[in-house]
Structure 1
């Protein structure tokens, strides 16, 4: 549906140039979203897929293991959209003890993303609302160190920014002037909490959480309230909204890979919302992404369960494992928790001595389950290759 422009333009100064900055209308759209026919069916399919993802705890022996690795996979993918070159292995190595040789600026950005998400989820579990204050707190952690740390972490911008182009005058898009940011974000916060009633009769509170997340993401990206980090925080907002809205107990749905794979279309649809009011095309794209991503996450979890079972059997049936099988299984369990780990940490986590951990790990290497990563005699690091390979799918840097 075309609604024409979904906001107004205001004169603003950026880089010494006067530009026309876009100020979006408050949500929800007017007239209301058209949810007839195939769109309603797409919403139901996406909701069902999300329900299967939410019940993943019934499938996994320890859902926290999956959450730990999946969150880090998302951090890598979301940061790659912004131009980083870090891999999941880089992040896991960095988290060991910030080993030299890892690309510091890139991996710090990814590590900050994990910290921002974990802070947001902790606050929500404590009963703190999903509000602008929480988004600013998360942004402070997202930009705490590395690139962008000088760009007012945790504060709404006080200067004009722009997206694309070589200068403000030929930018692809210019977000609201700085003096409009606070009021735009206040209106978005009210929408998130269902406090803006649509004069057309469609109250925000009546919108399914998936649609609310779809609309809120576009609005956040349009406002672009921070000097840097808007893309990453805008993608995190989706996961937080689905959690707060009761669709997911854990933040397990991340659309970064989907957005990365369809990057030109993603940006085109955001622009079409602003210039034509075509919210429906965006919602169709978003719902398809939710269904695909949720289904893929469930399949990944099942593959990991199968992998863990197969490798446990390989240890139990191994000809040369013998009486040391119990310790080998302890070490394997540690690698399930952290698929890239040093021998020292493995021993501590498994509750066994360093020599025992070293012997057990050698058995896993001989079985082809684990591999030494550094080539060093000391401070050796081992990786659970098959586990990491499953998580890495689609994770090649742009």
Structure 2
């Protein structure tokens, strides 16, 4: 037994196994905010506030398009997919690269799952709840490798992490008959049923508890990472999820798993929250810096396009589309801009001469162009 929960011996397999039953949220006794933990909390809150302020200086929909896809790629890479941001953007523009299609589609489903959750919360159709979490999981796992693992349904059998069976696993989540009580507490915590928790801390506690409960047969990691963005939005920290926390977890994977496990074995909620807040601060600062760099890039390139004289009108329309999509094909650009193929072709050639667009398909027809400097900033 620890402050984080208890291990309970279970029957099954040749040797039995110990499953972990998490203690209810919020932690008891409450989080002890040392001066250092208080400092990093204030720093993280400030960094997220700065990101929100900087993001308001740009078109939020375009920023959201970019950052949601960056988070989707990073989160999926943690699960072993090989797709890059370029792969996803080319796939969405009907210019599929040589990477395995299953990988790209898996990342695309992550984008769809996050948008689904955001729409349901923003329109007031459904609060962040177990029902919405099941819906998000259903979108995420509706096809591909996870489609046989009960999409949108909480598990009814025991799962485990690492090893070939529960008896030699690295971690065994609560058995199904204990899981629903933990999920009921989890939902009440999301709805402030036990009192108000500072929003950034609330997202960190919820993420760790969700990962510990592991309520689905597959896809728990991706849904758990989605939760952070959704809570930030639902709590009013960010008007849109301009936040790719998976970058921090991907770069610090071993420390991440260790911090989660110490909650279970030692009740070290403070250690987990410190690790998490350092990540929030780091990612929010980087996202704000990237946003400012993108804003400066767009301002300079718009001035260059405007200098084209008579050709500036059509070139600016195509540039705006390239800025929004990052990767465009001539057919897609013509369809979305309402311009003819020859006009789009000419505009993209002018953008290429300015060093803004780069042709990447090598085709004679239906060529594909990328806004390389924007992509480089997102990939940095």
TM-score (norm 1): 0.92
Tell me, in whole angstroms, the C-alpha distance in 2 between the residues paired with 1:100 and 1:266.
32
Q: Which residue of 1 aligns with 2:366?
A: 379
Q: Which residue, out of 362, 366, 389, partners 2:376?
A: 389
Contact preservation (8 Å) 1:7, 1:22: yes
Q: 1:334 to 1:81 in 2, by over 3 A?
A: same
Tell me, in whole angstroms, the C-alpha distance in 1 between the residues paired with 2:212 and 2:332.
44
Q: Which residue of 2 aligns with 1:36?
A: 34
Contact preservation (8 Å) 1:11, 1:21: yes
Deviation readout 1:33-54 (Å, 9 max, x if unpaired): 0113121121111111111112
CA offset at residue 305 of structure 1?
Answer: 0.8
Q: Which residue of 2 aligns with 1:50?
A: 48
Contact preservation (8 Å) 2:17, 2:167: yes
SS in structure 1 at match of 2:16: strand
Q: Which residue of 2 aligns with 1:116?
A: 113
Q: Which residue, out of 213, 218, 230, partners 2:203?
A: 213
- Structure 1 stretch displaced more, 133-142 or 361-370: 361-370
Structure-to-structure mapping, 1:132-211, within 5 angstroms:
132-196=130-194, 204-205=195-196, 207-211=197-201
Tell me, in whole angstroms, the C-alpha distance in 1 between the residues paired with 2:336 and 2:67.
20
Q: Which residue of 1 aligns with 2:73?
A: 76
CA offset at residue 190 of structure 1?
Answer: 0.6
Contact preservation (8 Å) 2:358, 2:369: yes
CA offset at residue 251 of structure 1?
Answer: 1.3
Tell me, in whole angstroms, the C-alpha distance in 1 between the residues paired with 2:371 and 2:22.
48
Tell me, in whole angstroms, the C-alpha distance in 2 between the residues paired with 1:14 and 1:322.
76
Structure-to-structure mapping, 1:4-23, within 5 angstroms:
4=2, 6-12=4-10, 18-23=16-21
SS in structure 2 at match of 1:147: helix
Q: Which residue of 2 aligns with 1:357?
A: 344
In the alignment, structure 1 segments of 5+ residues that lack a partner are 197-203, 394-398
Q: Which residue of 2 aligns with 1:329?
A: 316
TM-score (norm 2): 0.96
SS in structure 1 at match of 2:21: strand
Tell me, in whole angstroms, the C-alpha distance in 1 between the residues paired with 2:352 and 2:74.
29
Q: 1:139 to 1:98 in 2, by over 3 A?
A: farther
Q: Which residue of 2 aligns with 1:243?
A: 233
Tell me, in whole angstroms, the C-alpha distance in 2 between the residues paired with 1:193 and 1:242.
14
RMSD: 1.6
Q: 1:237 to 1:13 in 2, by over 3 A?
A: farther
Q: Which residue, out of 324, 327, 338, partners 2:325?
A: 338
CA offset at residue 63 of structure 1?
Answer: 1.6
Tell me, in whole angstroms, the C-alpha distance in 1 between the residues paired with 2:11 and 2:367.
55
In the alignment, structure 2 segments of 5+ residues that lack a partner are none
Q: 1:16 to 1:69 in 2, by over 3 A?
A: farther
Deviation readout 1:329-384 (Å, 9 max, x if unpaired): 11111101100011122123223211111011111112221111111112211111
Contact preservation (8 Å) 1:343, 1:380: yes
CA offset at residue 328 of structure 1?
Answer: 1.2
Q: Which residue of 2 aligns with 1:131?
A: 129
2:84 equivalent to 1:87? yes
CA offset at residue 104 of structure 1?
Answer: 1.1
- Structure 1 stretch displaced more, 334-343 or 102-111: 102-111
Q: Which residue of 1 aligns with 2:258?
A: 268
Tell me, in whole angstroms, the C-alpha distance in 2 between the residues paired with 1:148 and 1:139.
10
CA offset at residue 253 of structure 1?
Answer: 2.1
2:221 equivalent to 1:223? no
Contact preservation (8 Å) 1:94, 1:102: no
Deviation readout 1:255-287 (Å, 9 max, x if unpaired): 100011111000000000000001111111111
Contact preservation (8 Å) 1:304, 1:387: yes
Q: Which residue of 2 aligns with 1:201?
A: none
Q: 1:160 to 1:314 in 2, by over 3 A?
A: same
SS in structure 2 at match of 1:195: coil
Contact preservation (8 Å) 2:3, 2:23: no
CA offset at residue 323 of structure 1?
Answer: 1.5
CA offset at residue 5 of structure 1?
Answer: 5.1
Q: Which residue of 2 aligns with 1:199?
A: none
CA offset at residue 21 of structure 1?
Answer: 0.6
